[in-house]
Amino acid sequence: MVAQKRVYQEIDAIDRTAQHILGYQDGHLIAYARVFTEQGHATFGRVLTVPEVRGQGVGRLLMQ
């Protein structure tokens, strides 16, 4: 993730079986979240939003 200055492989084995939720506004990708099952429970990961919509509840909407 460039915004967090992380330099490592983001794709992992969980990506193959996870659900990937994308949020669009006016045809532009503005949010992303990954959902997978871990020990029988849904787990959210990588909830990301573009800087322009942060603090507006967009990430929360993805998780509903």
Bridge partners, residue 28, by sequence: 25
- pLDDT of amino acid 27: 97
- Specify whether the CB–CB gap between 50 and 30 falls below 8 A: yes
Strand partners, 43: 36
Output 47 or 6, whichever has higher pLDDT.
47
1-36 per-residue burial string, b: 16 or more CB within 10 A, e: under 16:
eeeeeeeeeeeeeeeeebeeeebeeeeeebbbbbbb
Say what the pTM is.
0.73
What's the mean pLDDT in 14-37? 91
For the chain, give the mean pLDDT: 85
Q: Which residues contact 38 (CB under 8 A, 6 or more apart)?
A: none
**Residue 52: per-residue pLDDT:** 96
Percent of the residues in the chain that have a pLDDT greater than 90, as a whole number: 41
